[in-house]
């Protein structure tokens, strides 16, 4: 049975040097099977968001620097909001030319469940200084109405 190779074992000293070398070898083999660019092209980045409420609205904010408004799609279906987009490279560089490669380029998306009902007809979204702001007006709460039951004869 394979030993559990995780960060906690490593920190507690229960992972042996042989286990660590085996993990390093497995990682190297995976990296050699395909280039990092191939792996990244299959990966869709996840967008980080802040979602909060005011008295009348649910607000979603996200940092989306380097993306044009026409490359962002905000969709609401049932009780789920999805923000999708693509950050396109405007330059060419091979992986050998990089000293650091930390920026994410390519498609990204994030879906979140809305905590309250919203009025989807009046949702607005704008992008200013690399910050996407989606304003979702809360739906009017329906008031309970007592229905009188009549008798049929």
Q: Checking DSSP bridges between strand 50-53 and strand 57-63, what pairing results, if any?
A: antiparallel
Domain spans of the chain?
7-33, 44-137
pLDDT surpasses 60 at 140: yes
Question: What distance lies between CA 12 and its chain's CA centroid?
Answer: 32
pLDDT in tens, 47-73: 899 999 999 999 999 999 889 999 999
Max alpha carbon distance in the chain (Å)?
A: 88
Question: What distance lies between CA 102 and its chain's CA centroid?
Answer: 17
DSSP single-letter state for residue 14: -
CATH class of 44-137: mainly beta
What is the pTM (predicted TM-score) of this model?
0.63
Who contacts 42 (Cβ-Cβ below 8 Å, separation ≥6)? none
10: left (phi over 0), alpha (psi -120 to 50) or beta: alpha
């Amino acid at each position: 049975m394979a030993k559990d190779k995780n960060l906690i074992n490593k920190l507690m000293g229960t992972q042996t040097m042989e286990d660590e070398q085996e993990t390093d070898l497995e990682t190297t083999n995976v990296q050699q099977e395909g280039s990092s660019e191939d792996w990244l092209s299959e990966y869709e980045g996840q967008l980080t968001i802040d979602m909060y409420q005011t008295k009348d609205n649910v607000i979603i904010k996200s940092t989306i620097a380097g993306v044009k408004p026409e490359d962002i799609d905000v969709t609401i279906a049932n009780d789920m909001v999805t923000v999708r987009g693509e950050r396109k490279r405007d330059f060419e560089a091979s992986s050998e030319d990089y000293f650091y490669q930390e920026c994410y380029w390519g498609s990204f998306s994030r879906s979140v469940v809305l905590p309250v009902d919203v009025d989807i007809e009046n949702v607005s979204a704008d992008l200013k200084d690399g910050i996407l702001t989606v304003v979702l007006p809360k739906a009017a709460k329906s008031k309970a109405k007592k229905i009188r039951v009549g008798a049929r004869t």
